[in-house]
Amino acid sequence: MAAHNDLGKKGEQIAVSFLQKKGYELLETNWTVGKAEVDIIVKKREVVIFVEVKTRQNNVFGYPEEGVTDKKEALMMEAAVFYTNQLKHEAAIRFDIIAITIEPDLEIKHFRDAFFPTWE
């Protein structure tokens, strides 16, 4: 496995642990449908939360959260529609980003409601 894949997996494991410590219930990891992948799906109260995790070794080339593109947001929204229809979930959903920087010190930033669906 390439080093960037190892870093991504490490970041996802850190994010899962972080969310569980905050009281989120883990539903899925690396859930895919079609071309869309959601790194983590969790639930808190009645809200289903779709989480994109971005991990960087350091911030030399920018912050991890800057790596979430409009295309990625659109794919996550498509996945959310499919997932919630499959669950017959009719309550609230949310899209979060967890940005992790490993060095010089581990930093975890949790962006709640990082973006909003623009259904057309």
Q: Domain extents for the chain?
A: 3-111
DSSP state of 24: P
pLDDT (average), residues 43-59: 95
- Kindly report the average pLDDT of the chain as a whole number: 91
What six digits make up the tokens of 25? Answer: 């219930």
pLDDT, residue 86, reads 86
Q: What is the pLDDT of residues 89-119, one digit of tens each?
A: 777 899 999 999 999 999 999 999 998 866 5
What six digits make up the tokens of 98? Answer: 């967890």
Query: 15: part of which helix (H) or strand (E)?
Result: helix 3-21
pLDDT (average), residues 25-34: 94
The neighbour count for residue 70, using CB atoms within 10 Å, is: 9
Is pLDDT of 20 > 60?
A: yes
Query: 77: part of which helix (H) or strand (E)?
Result: helix 70-87
Q: Please give the Cα distance from 26 to 35 (Å, whole number).
A: 22
3-111 to CATH, choices 3.40.190.10, 3.30.479.10, 1.10.3210.10, 3.40.1350.10: 3.40.1350.10
